[in-house]
A = this chain, B = another copy of it.
Amino acid sequence: MPVLVAIVTPQPGKMDEAADAFSAIIPDVHGEPGCELYALHRNADKLVMIEKWADAETLAAHGRAPALAKLGAKMGALVAEPMQLLILEPVPVGDPTKGAL
């Protein structure tokens, strides 16, 4: 059950356009096999996608799917620096309803 955190830094003035590019692919990603969570967040200067996939195979398939290629084609011109991608494993502790995604 890999969990991913992808941190994108749009160029100044490109935040809304970058958020729209993510938003456009989210329904398709939600329909991909093994997608359990693909949830967009933002603050003043970052977009942060928090993801959970059923297993390494479905995550790998997501990486080859049309939605991500479509996003990449738009995002290249909008970002100020390379995406920070964290591929993580859960460390479940405490209350199961609060200690894991």
Chain A interfacial positions (CB closer than 8 Å to B): 3, 5, 7, 19, 22-23, 26-27, 29-30, 35-43, 46, 48, 50, 86-95, 98-101
Contacts and interface: CB of A to CB of B under 8 A. Distances in A.
Given A38-B94, A39-B101, A41-B90, 19 more contacts: A3-B41, A5-B7, A5-B48, A22-B91, A22-B93, A23-B93, A26-B94, A27-B94, A27-B95, A29-B94, A30-B94, A35-B98, A36-B98, A39-B100, A40-B92, A40-B99, A41-B89, A48-B86, A48-B88
How many of these chains are in the complex?
2
A27 B36 CA distance: 25
Contacts of A5: 5, 7, 41, 48, 50
